Structures are given as C-alpha cells and as structure tokens.
Amino acid sequence: MSQLLHVVLVYASAPRTVHETALDVDFGTTLWQALEQAGWPLLFPEIKDQSVTMGVWGRKASGSTVLRAGDRIEIYRDLRVDPKAARRERFVGQGARGAGLFTHRRPGSKAGY
C-alpha cells in the first residue's frame, strides 16, 4: 500500500489571477508528474513544454524533484518588465521630493529625522 502525500499547486496565469489546486499524490511522485496528474499541461498550454520555471515553497526546483508531504508547488511566469526599470520610471514620474523615506517631515524637525 503506497502512502499518499498532500501537496498544493499554485499558478498565477495573469496579474491578479491565481489558480490553486490541492492534490493527493503517491509517495515518490515528481513535480512534473503532479502537474500532469492535475491536468495542468492541458489547462495551461504555456507550461506544456516544461521550459517554465518552477519551485517548491519559493525555492527553484526542476520537474524531476521528488515531492514531500505538504509541499507547495509554484509555477512562475516570466517578468514582462524589469523591476529595477519600473522603479526608476516611477521615481522619474514622482520626482525627488515625492519619493523616499523622509518625504513627510514634521514642521521644525531636522532633516533626516
């Protein structure tokens, strides 16, 4: 008799859209086998080619990673905008006075406090 492990699959296919599925898999199941068991390669064609980045609890993992009880399998989509470039653009739009840690000061206080 094989032991069943409870795992959770999570995928954000688009901004503000998260798909989550709880799944019971056999002991020794790999990450990719769990995705196939849930039918996700058919639901989400973009993950069918196995070139997507995957992880378990926020740590990068391959499709051949053997799962453990309680694992949270995450599928990551590619970033469309570099976070550093987006921050720079927001800063340019706000200006130097509207951004930063010490923008709101009490009257009469020292700069930086």
Residues listed for the chain: 113
User: How many other CB atoms are found less than 10 A from the CB of residue 90?
Assistant: 11
Instruction: Tell me the pLDDT tens digit for each residue of 54-112.
Output: 899 989 988 888 999 999 999 988 777 888 888 888 777 666 555 566 566 677 776 65
Q: Where are the domains of the chain?
A: 4-76
Instruction: Tell me the pLDDT tens digit for each residue of 8-49.
Output: 999 988 888 899 999 999 998 999 999 999 988 888 888 877
Q: Give the integer Cα–Cα distance in Å for 107 and 5.
A: 60
User: What integer pLDDT is reported at residue 89 of this predicted model?
Assistant: 81
Q: Topology of domain 4-76, per CATH?
A: Ubiquitin-like (UB roll) (3.10.20)
Find, among 53, 65, 49, 52, the residue nearest to 7 by Cα: 65
Q: Are 19 and 51 in contact (CB under 8 A)?
A: no
Q: Are 7 and 67 in contact (CB under 8 A)?
A: yes
